Structure 1
Amino acid sequence: MRTHHPARRLRARRPLSIAAALATTAAALTITGSLGAPAVADPVSAASGTAPLQTCTAAQVRASERHWMFGNSAGIDFGVAGDTATAVKVPGATVEGSTVVTDTTGNLLFWSNGSSIFNRDNQVMPNGSGLLINASATQTVAAFPSITNPGTYFVVTTTGASEVGGDGQLYYSEVDLSLDGGLGAVTSVKNVPLGGSTDGSEALTAVPNATGDGFWVLSTKADAPEILAFEFDGDGPVSGTPVVSTLSTANGNQYGTLNISKDLTQVVQQTGSSTGRSQIRVLDVDGASGVLTERFSWDLPTGSGTGNNGYSADFSPEGDYVYATKIFGGARLYRYELEGASTSAEVEATGENIAAIGNGGQVRRAPDGRMYVANRGAAALGVVETPDAASPAFTANGFPLVAGTVNGWGLPQTVTGCPKPPNPPVVEVEGPAEGEVYFEGQEVPASYSCTSPDSTITSCEGTVPNGEGIDTSTPGQHEFSVTGTDDKGLTTTTKVTYKVVATVGLCRGTPLSLLNLTPGTANGPTSPCASDSRKVLRINERLTTNPSLLGGLLNPLLRNTVSTGVLTGTTTKGAGLAAATATVDDASVSLPGLLTLDVSGVHSEVRSQLRSCTAADVAGSSHIATLTLNGKKIVVGDKPLTIPLVVGSLSLNQQVRTGNTVTQRAIFLDLPGNLLDIAIGESTAGVVCGS
């Protein structure tokens, strides 16, 4: 309870039993060794700083400020849109400061009166009582999320208060909302000292850093010209050593607040002294370094009708004004205009003594665009209806509370800003490629990776394991997915679609072709490619044709003009593959007056292998072991050679290629009229993707 005293306020505090103190100390984590000297930061200009990261929309800000809990069981529900205010009754009591954590869709997560943490059902969390505080601090407690550990929050408390000389110790505890069936519990990280034994005061808040992956916990140093900033990342304090910003004058040793502007770029501080002096400061925030740079500083008025002790200050919704309160001796509400001011004197000159506020208490801006003013012991709050207007329209007792609930001195803090969420895993799929077309049976190894800039990947699983073949067994559309999971429980699933098509191929192994006869041919000329093997032991063939053909050169027709040994043809069909071979052990061709040809060891082979539907490996070769033409031996081997004849020509090791199709002829006797052509050892193969 606050009672009037000319030098300081006296408030009743619930003593902590020896047993509770020992239990709390045993449960707390301890920090051994020296924290080191504070890192004193040189002042920087506002223009050179980097503002705290604000990534939430105006609607998200309003939703995150939906729930207020304060005083003796008092509360307000501003709705998800933040445009209504409904008084509610909340179990529990708060002497002064409190903090409420609501998500950006308006769902209450938990709240704290400093000494205990209550879940969304307003029940004390497991391990959630016995937080080390001074219940008489204006801002007893602040809370903020761990960005890299979703569902984890840090709660910071202070034992600093005017009754103990203004300074005290900061402590932090950890809330894990995944515990207790999703209602949350305080972990073993509880009442861990933060900074030195005099680094806490009545003023305590937190603001996001410049990159949105951590927070700065702000506190003032009693009787010293310093504001302290402790950096937190997702796992807790970065070092425990504060960044120190130096002020133009010393802070007081009594009541005080630190409140953040709507755009997170500025802090307004109220600090009071047992001498009666009360100061207001506006400071620019550098979210990268934690440095606060003083922009304006002025004193609240003193004398009759001005109130005794400065207590709190906050920005108006649009940031054009600062509202401040004094308590005792006729508590008052003041307003100062920042818009257009370039000096502290100019700001101080705009001061307005708005109204008396009963016993007084904290002033806070709300999501509905109004300012609310506490009046300790009253059953209603004061309301500034139009805080950014020329006439602010203050109404004392303008917001009645639920019957049976009353004000305390304080009003709650909410989580400031919407820092960027942690980055989920990044999943990259290289194979199969999105929209790619593969042929039936194609070997396509899966290739994918999962990475995260903020966490450790715990699993990276695809439709098939990395490096194994994807499904190309059936034509049609297929889907391939990969899910990456990190140690924070965040997942990312990437899906790609691909198409599998059947192949269209031809393959033919023709040992001998003459007069439309193809003995020993594997896979006939009109058939799609299929694996086949044929063998003929011997051929003795008479050419019968038109007696006048070639001017009677082939007339009279002779018997046994073509004879062969064993003829063998083979074809092979595989995944994207068409292949053929043709082999002739030996052959003789006798065309009196034109040529006599004797060969042995004739072989040809071709292969058309798709690498993809747009690329193929196509190759062919042939070989002739011995060749005698008109009684003369010619060494050929696999060399291509064309020999002119009296009529037509004789081509050896000839290859014809069109697209993915290749025809390889070991021997081709090209005579006028296709009917008379003779091919020995001819192979053809080609394959393409279907539609």
Structure 2
Amino acid sequence: MSRIHYIATVVILCLGSFAAFAQGETANWYFGKNAGITFKGDTAVALTNGRLTTEEGSATLSDKNGNLVLYTNGITVWNRNHRVMPNGNGLMGGKSSTQSALILPKPGSDSTYYIFTTDIQAQSNGLRYSIVDMRKDGGNGDVISRNMFMVAPTTEKLTAVRHSNGRDWWVLAHRWNSNAYMAFLLSGEGVSVEPVLSNVGTVHGGPNQKAIGYLVPSPDGNRLAAALWNDKSNFEVLDFNRTTGEVSNPVLLKGYTEAYGVAFSPDGSKLYGTTNNGKMGKGQIVQFDLRASNADAIAKSAVVVATSGSPTLGALLLGPDGKIYVARKDNYFLGVIEHPNQKGTASKYTDNGFRLAGRKSDLGLPNFAQGIRSGTSFRTTSR
């Protein structure tokens, strides 16, 4: 082997090892009815040690080496030992809120975490945050501040995107009975009082429960996708400016029953959404081609890539292994999209794709911020 070929081989192997190592912060998932998964490289293993039960939302976070730090259903916070943290009860999220919680490290700190929570269906608790100090309780953490009010009423949508400066965060939510996306800046100084407001897209409101459904960022953070759940549901795809916090250029994808989960493919070229076919009584997964030439072409690119044996599908979540995992309500298995970058049925959906070792999924999967993983590649310029 020539010296050049040898060096190239070593570089490739090192990059592969780094990719597996760098997935640490998202390595452990807790969700559903005491269900869990741990990822080690490209291997996923079911966990049965979780204390969390939830109908929908949850959030977990691990350190860069894949060691569990904390997890929550938006009401109770558990530490790495699966014990309730001091002051870890009584958070004002809702276990039947789509994205009941989100955990973010405070910029510039290795011991302080923020837990953001959303109430169910635009009720009065709204969007709030609590603060965890991991130096307390012998390094296991203590909730030192609870339920700091941000805004109400809001929908159940909650996500975050890394700021273009590579340090701070944009915490994203949506006002109720409004078309306003809100981007709150989380910096080393704390949470901004006033959000960046973007009045774009459809109104999330009315009596038809459009508060329900996921809001997720693309892997590069430059796009957002939202599901608006009701009997005549829509999906929305929008651009996001990681420098200014502005949301723009909405693309409406309409005509879907009970739209709930959304996820981008690893390369950002495809969008997947879960919907429930009332006539068939079965959940389905729809794929959209985001590289189509315009908004109309994206809408027309829709293709059903999977029909589940379950009547109700919930969250979609891109795993550290590059596969998309699909929540099946009250089921011992998750569905798995094996090759999400591929077009149509070549994406290969397996309904009984991941066995939960006797635990059950419900509608939700953990909520992670874009850019949360160590070594995650993100651009330093706005879209």
TM interval, short-chain normalised: 0.7 to 0.9
Aligned counterpart, 1:118: 78
CA distance in 1: counterparts of 2:190 and 2:127, whole angstroms = 14
Kindly provide the amino acid, as one letter, of the partner of residue 171 in structure 2: V
Tell me the residue number matched to 2:287: 335
Structure 1 residues 405-458: Cα deviation after superposition (integer angstroms, max 9, x where no partner): 10111011124314999xxxxxxxxxxxxxxxxxxxxxxxxxxxxxxxxxxxxx
* Alignment map for 1:355-394 (pairs within 5 Å): 355-357=306-308, 358=310, 359-390=312-343, 391-394=346-349
Pair 1:215-2:172 in alignment: no
Q: Which amino acid aligns with 1:356?
A: T
Bigger Rg over Cα: 1
Alpha-carbon offset, residue 103 of structure 1: 1.9
2:263 is aligned with what amino acid?
D
Q: CA deviation at 1:284?
A: 2.0
CA distance in 2, matches of 1:370, 1:333: 14
> Does 1:205 find its partner at 2:159?
yes
Is 1:65–2:46 an aligned residue pair?
no
Post-superposition CA distance 1:248-282 (Å, at most 9, x none) = 32224331211121122221111234xx2322222
Query: Does the CA-based 8 Å contact 1:161-1:168 persist in structure 2?
Result: no
Count of matched residue pairs:
346
Q: Which runs of 5+ in 2 are unaligned?
A: 1-17, 376-383
Give the distance between the partners of 1:202 and 1:147, measured in 2 at CA: 25
* Partner SS for 1:318: coil
* Distance in 2 of aligned mates of 1:419 and 1:365: 13
Q: Displacement of 1:146 after TM fit?
A: 0.7
CA contact (8 A) 1:332 1:360 kept: yes
Question: Structure 2 residue aligned with 1:297, among 252, 270, 293?
Answer: 252
Residues 168 and 277 of structure 1, relative CA distance in 2, 3 Å threshold: farther
How has the CA–CA distance of structure 1 residues 256 and 366 changed in structure 2, closer, same or farther, with 3 Å as cutoff? same
Aligned mates of 1:262, 1:61 — CA distance in 2: 15
Deviations 1:72-127 (A, max 9, x none): 01001111x2x111111122212211111112221211111111111111111111
The residue type equivalent to 2:47 in the other structure is V
TM-score scaled by length of structure 1: 0.48
Whether the 8 Å contact between 2:64 and 2:373 is mirrored in structure 1 is: no
- Residue 220 (structure 2) pairs with residue 263 (structure 1): yes
Are the structure 2 counterparts of residues 168 and 76 from structure 1 closer, same or farther at C-alpha, using a change threshold of 3 Å? same
Work out whether residues 281 and 294 of structure 1, in 8 Å CA contact, stay in contact via their aligned partners in 2. no
Q: Distance in 1 between matches of 2:374 and 2:245?
A: 18
Q: Name which of 149, 153, 163 aligns with 1:193.
A: 149
Q: 3-state DSSP class of the match of 1:181?
A: helix
CA separation of 1:265/1:61 partners in 2, compared to 1, >3 Å: closer, same or farther? farther
Q: Choose which of 177, 199, 205 in structure 2 pairs with 1:246.
A: 199
Q: Deviations over 1:33-74 (max 9, x none)?
A: xxxxxxxxxxxxxxxxxxxxxxxx744652222111110010
**Counterparts of 1:213 and 1:388 in 2: how far apart (Å)?**
29
Among residues 138, 144, 150, which one is paired with 2:98 in the alignment?
A: 138
Q: Scaled by the length of structure 2, what TM-score is found?
A: 0.85
Q: Secondary structure at the match of 2:155?
A: coil
Aligned position for 1:74: 35
Asked if the contact 1:373–1:382 (Cα under 8 Å) also holds between the matched residues in 2, the reply is yes
- The structure showing larger relative contact order (alpha-carbon pairs under 8 Å, at least 6 residues apart) is 2
Residues 464-543 of structure 1: pairs in structure 2 closer than 5 A: none
Q: CA 1:84–1:392 in structure 2 vs 1: closer, same or farther (change >3 Å)?
A: same
1:73-472 superposed matches below 5 A:
73-79=34-40, 81=41, 83-89=42-48, 90-161=50-121, 164=123, 169-187=126-144, 189-195=145-151, 197-198=152-153, 200-238=154-192, 240-252=193-205, 253-273=210-230, 276-301=231-256, 308-327=257-276, 329=278, 330=281, 331-339=283-291, 341-357=292-308, 358=310, 359-390=312-343, 391-403=346-358, 405-418=359-372
Distance change in 2, residues 1:295/1:249 (3 Å): closer
For the residue of structure 2 that corresponds to 1:249, the secondary structure is strand
Report deviation, 1:201.
Answer: 1.3
Identity among equivalent positions (%) equals: 32
Q: Is the 8 A contact 1:212 1:420 kept in 2?
A: no
